[in-house]
Structure 1
Amino acid sequence: MSDVEGVGRAIRTARKEARLTQKDLADLVGISERTVRAIETGTGNPSLAAVAAAAGVLGLRLVAA
Structure 2
Amino acid sequence: MDDIKTIGVSIRRARKGAGITQETLADLIGTSTRTVHAIETGRGNPSLLTVAAAANAVGLHLRVTDD
TM over 0.5: yes
Distance in 1 between residues matched to 2:54 and 2:16, nearest whole Å? 13
Is 1:50 matched up with 2:50? yes
1:1-65 equivalence runs, <5 A:
2-65=2-65
Find runs of 4+ consecutive structure 1 residues off by over 6 angstroms: none
How many aligned positions are there?
Answer: 65
What is the aligned-residue RMSD (CA, Å)?
Answer: 0.9
Quote how far apart the aligned CAs of 1:22 are: 0.3
Distance in 2 between residues matched to 1:50 and 1:31, nearest whole Å? 8
Secondary structure, aligned partner of 1:62: coil
Question: Which amino acid in the other structure matches residue 40 of structure 1?
Answer: E
Distance in 1 between residues matched to 2:15 and 2:56, nearest whole Å? 11
Per the normalisation by structure 1, the TM-score is: 0.97
Percentage of matched positions with identical amino acids = 58
Q: For structure 2, which runs of at least 5 residues remain unmatched after alignment?
A: none
Distance in 2 between residues matched to 1:42 and 1:57, nearest whole Å? 18
Q: For structure 1, which runs of at least 5 residues remain unmatched after alignment?
A: none
